[in-house]
Amino acid sequence: MAKVRSVYICRECGYESAKWNGKCPECGQWNTFEESEAAPVKAASSKSRSTAVYSSDSILSLDRIDSDYHETRYSTGLTELDRVLGGGLVKGSLVLLGGEPGIGKSTLLLQICKHLGKNKTVLYVSGEESARQIKLRADRLGVKDVSLGILAKNDAEAICTTIEKEKPDVAIIDSIQTMSIAGINSSQGSISQVRECTNLFMHTAKNMEIPVFIVGHVNKDGAIAGPKVMEHIVDAVLYFEGQQNMSYRILRAEKNRFGSTNEIGVFEMNDDGLSQVANPSEMLLAGRPWNVSGNCVACVIEGTRPILAEVQALVAKSAFSAPRRTSSGFDYNRLYLILAVLEKRCGLFFGGLDVYINIVGGLWLDDPSADLPIAMALYSSVTDKMISDKITAFGEIGLGGEVRSASYIKQRIAEAERLGFEKCIVPSQSLKNIDTKKFGVKVIGVSNIKQAFAEI
């Protein structure tokens, strides 16, 4: 009998090795190798290559392929989720919804059944909760009078066969870590089980042309357990983020074959499930202090939507010889760059001072135009000069201290106006073709950071 060959696979990044390693050479994580059965390898030499060939009919001309938009996309009933998906759920797509345990993944998916189940059949497969527990949750969420089937099982092959037989319009698998294939000699949630189960669901989604959602728990480092191997199989990877003790949640696309990955969706967890937050700026700015220095409101673009977020900076005397710099929600290296520009171009010195930056609401600002509000917040904190709560700013900062142009100017100014701001500090470069008098907010163009500071 042929000997079964083993391979060792890294749980974090999927790197395969013939021998066990303490440290993964690919991702550098320790103690992540798991033993797994290697798939039999067939030599692909020309001698042994199969003679099968696809007929010319199987090659479709691009113009003849039907891609009617309304046919191939379903609305989930939650506009925030639809936006992150790129305009709705695509037929035949496999969507991975990742997030920490308890963040609200099952709640979100059960809630979309409320809308989808009205005119479509949905199969909800749960390997985590019993049918009765799901029913209790559905009652609480007000999911009733829908065609929703619950299957509390975890044999992935049997589930796929059931999907092929029952032909639901949408299938939900909660969660991939509880699914298993009997023929694979490793435990549930192991890398080979997760990979093979995902492959199986992918085939089912493509064959049946139905959208399939897969829930994946992330481990404490933020990676989906059994992670990268899954991310490249599926069509879209959505992450559900937020802090357990805060009520709002942010849905973000990490990968999307059918839409942009810049969009975010904002939800709030209430007693009766998740509700959509159509105006995240209002939520993010609620409860803002108005009489302290170091606060500035940034107007950034997330995807195609302007969002106003509060930037907080605290500059304090350091007790250490090497002062601390911490940044939450903003790129750490970018903070160093801004500090260097402030030192060199404005003569503000941060040596011997600790610097803390925080973006309120767990938001991550990767729009370069967050530079100016960060610089203003730092300036405000170091000089102890308060910035009025009616001022908002945006603009990228260059190494010469210049404020560079930004995109979506009109949308940003309109959002500031809508939320009752009185002054909007913007890069003057961007105002060339814009009539600033049209807005109900005073628009001030600045070309360098000194001019911006003079407006505080």
Binding region for ligand TYD (CB under 6 A): 99, 101-107, 137, 140-141, 269, 271-273
DSSP label at residue 278: S
Q: Is 63 left (phi over 0), alpha (psi -120 to 50) or beta?
A: alpha
Structure tokens at 294: 């170091």
**Residues touching Mg ion: how many (CB under 5 A)?**
1
Binding segment for Mg ion among 106-114, 117-125, 221-229, 316-324 (CB under 5 A)? 106-114
Q: Work out how close the CB of 95 gets to Mg ion at its nearest, in angstroms, rounded to a whole number.
A: 16
101, interface contact from Mg ion, ligand TYD, none, CB < 5-8 Å by kind? ligand TYD
**Side chain identity at residue 129, one-letter code:** E
Q: Give the CA count within 13 Å in the CB-facing half-sphere of 67.
A: 7
- φ/ψ of 397, rounded to 5, equals -105, 130
Q: Which is nearer to ligand TYD, 240 or 453 (CB)?
A: 240
* Shortest spacing between CB 173 and ligand TYD, in angstroms: 12
Residues 54, 71: contact at Cβ < 8 Å? no
In the complex, minimum distance from the CB of residue 154 to ligand TYD, in angstroms, rounded to a whole number: 15
| Apex 301 CA angle, 296 and 305, nearest 5 | 120
To Mg ion, the closest distance from the beta carbon of 106 in angstroms equals 3
Instruction: In angstroms, give the least distance from the CB of 156 to Mg ion.
Output: 17
380 binds Mg ion (CB under 5 A): no
Beta strands in 303-440 (DSSP E): 305-317, 325-328, 353-359, 391-393, 396-397, 403-404, 423-427
Among ligand TYD, Mg ion, none, the one that 273 touches (CB under a kind-dependent 5 to 8 A) is ligand TYD
Does residue 106 interact with Mg ion by CB under 5 A?
Answer: yes
Q: What is the DSSP string of 387-414?
A: PPTTEEE--EE-TTSBEEP-S-HHHHHH
Residue 146 partner contact from Mg ion, ligand TYD, none using kind-dependent CB cut-offs of 5 to 8 Å: none
Residue among 96 and 374 whose Cβ is closer to Mg ion? 96
Q: Of the ranges 77-85, 100-108, 238-246, 390-398, which one interacts with Mg ion (CB under 5 A)? A: 100-108
Residue 121 C-beta: closest distance to ligand TYD, Å: 22
CB of 407 to ligand TYD, least distance (A): 34
Q: Does 193 bind Mg ion (CB under 5 A)?
A: no
How many Å from the N-terminal Cα to the C-terminal Cα in the chain?
Answer: 80
How is residue 180 annotated by DSSP?
Answer: B
CA atoms of 149 and 142, how far apart (whole Å): 16
Considering CB distances under 5 to 8 angstroms, the limit depending on partner class, which of Mg ion, ligand TYD, none binds residue 99?
ligand TYD
Residue placing its CB nearer to ligand TYD in the complex, 109 or 374: 109
Candidate ranges 102-110, 314-322, 374-382, 415-423; the one touching Mg ion (CB under 5 A):
102-110
CA distance 208 to 167: 7
- Can you tell me the distance from the alpha carbon of 393 to that of 335, in angstroms, rounded to the nearest whole number? 17
Q: Give the CB-nearest residue to Mg ion.
A: 106
Q: Which residues of the shown chain bind Mg ion in the complex (CB under 5 A)? A: 106
